[in-house]
Amino acid sequence: MMKYQRDILKGVHGYTPGEQLNVPDIIKLNTNENPYPPSPKVAEALASITSDNFRKYPDPLSVKLRQLSAERYGYPSAEWVMAGNGMDELLAMTLRTFVNPGEHVVSVNPTYSLYTILVQLHGAEYSEFDLGEDGALPEALYTSDAALCFVPRPNAPTGLCASRESMERLCESFKGIVYIDEAYVDFSDDSCMDFPKRYDNVIVGRTFSKSFGLAGMRIGVAVANPAIMSEFLKTKDSYNLNWASQAAGVAAMEDYAYMEAQANKIKATRARLTESLRTLGFSVRDSQSNFVLARWNGSPNAKAIFERLRDEAILVRYFDLEGLDDALRISIGTDEETDALLSALAYLAE
Ligand SMILES: Cc1ncc(COP(=O)(O)O)c(C=O)c1O
């Protein structure tokens, strides 16, 4: 296995290879998946795919999914939307399309760890600037002359949102492309989905892996000015979304209210988990995502807490990185999973 593939499995998602197989009885709170299944309409749509569909290539342009996304997000046509094999493909496509090897890409710190891996694979230069305590954008970002800036909003792994005003300032001052990664936005109070109407250099990315509960189907969309889209069309793989992913994405979009109801359920569990973790002595900021970042400065340390949970078959995310090594990132699970997690942590209060 190539080194970068290993890094992607281990560094980005916290897996060791093989662990991603479905092992029963594990409580999996380490990769920010949705604890609930997707809309039942998705299974119905998948069941209606015939073997004749398997024989034929899928729609190379994922037109229906793009049309529905445009309508939902307030854009005039599918020409404002690109579909991807997960948001990860859209991030790679953005680099391929808008950054030459050797050029500079910037982001914030901490951030989604795939950015640096993709930039390295592309042969470009990468710098990260520290976020403020409250998730505020670093001043250095506004004055950077990089070709591309990735900003996750809400941020991963902090779960905090930079203000919309600061995002506007960034989009106005930054000369290159600003990619606003809204992977977790359905769990937050507001979004920047209107920005591509106002700024020609902005791409807003969404994924179906989190709020829609479709991580296994690999679906993402990016919204931007049609001029950006026509550049994407030059570099995209011909058939990047298969029949099943397109059918699943369309069915999920058509049942948008189902996704919103699940997101609300997750937000309610998030509030309960946040309070309970604070009572145990963790320091937890109010998250805008489907995970919380819980900092701990007692004994045993965060790594030991992570290892003990793992021994009890509860997986959370621990980052052995400066600035994060006192923290656990915990995905919001079902209420039962949250109860099991809290019981497993109860020893900390003794
Ligand atoms: C900030 C961020 N962006 C993008 C992604 C990837 O989304 P997808 O599953 O659609 O590739 C993730 C997944 O964890 C993420 O945390």
- Give kind and range of the element (H or E) at residue 314: strand 314-315
Pocket-testing residue among 32, 114, 115, 186, ligand 1, by greatest number of atoms within 8 A of Cβ: 114
CA 31–ligand 1 middle distance (angstroms): 9
Predicted pLDDT at 339: 97
Ligand 1 atom nearest the C-alpha of 112 is 1
Ligand 1 atom nearest the C-alpha of 210 is 9
Q: Tell me the pTM.
A: 0.94
- Nearest-5° Cα angle at 47, 263 to 21: 65
Ligand 1 atom nearest the C-alpha of 152 is 1
Q: How far apart are CA 137 and CA 135, in angstroms?
A: 6
CB of 183 sitting under 6 A from ligand 1: yes
CA 91–ligand 1 middle distance (angstroms): 9
**Bridge partners of residue 243, in order along the sequence:** none
Domains and CATH numbers, the chain: 3-37+257-349 (3.90.1150.10), 40-256 (3.40.640.10)
Q: How far apart are CA 307 and CA 329, in angstroms?
A: 13
> Considering only CA atoms, which residue is closest to atom 2 of ligand 1?
183
Q: Which residues of the chain have pLDDT under 50?
A: 1-2, 6
Amino acid at 74: G
Ligand 1 atom nearest the C-alpha of 87 is 10
For 256-298, what is each residue's pLDDT tens digit?
A: 999 999 999 999 999 999 999 999 999 999 999 999 999 999 9
CA 75–ligand 1 middle distance (angstroms): 23
Nearest residue to 121 via CA among 5, 26, 294, 260: 5
Q: How far apart are CA 247 and CA 45, in angstroms?
A: 6
CA 152–ligand 1 middle distance (angstroms): 10
CB of 209 sitting under 6 A from ligand 1: yes
CA 312–ligand 1 middle distance (angstroms): 27
CA 118–ligand 1 middle distance (angstroms): 13
Alpha-helical runs (H) found in the chain: 3-7, 40-47, 51-55, 63-73, 87-98, 114-122, 139-143, 164-173, 195-198, 226-235, 243-254, 256-280, 302-311, 335-345
Output the CA–CA distances (angstroms, integers) from residue 150 to 33, 67, 104, 183, 293, in the order listed. 22, 25, 12, 12, 21
**Bridge partners of residue 204, in order along the sequence:** 180, 223
Predicted pLDDT at 1: 42
CB of 86 sitting under 6 A from ligand 1: yes
CB of 32 sitting under 6 A from ligand 1: yes
**Bridge partners of residue 294, in order along the sequence:** 284, 328
Ligand 1 atom nearest the C-alpha of 12 is 14
For 302-317, what is each residue's pLDDT tens digit?
A: 999 999 999 999 999 9
CB of 103 sitting under 6 A from ligand 1: no
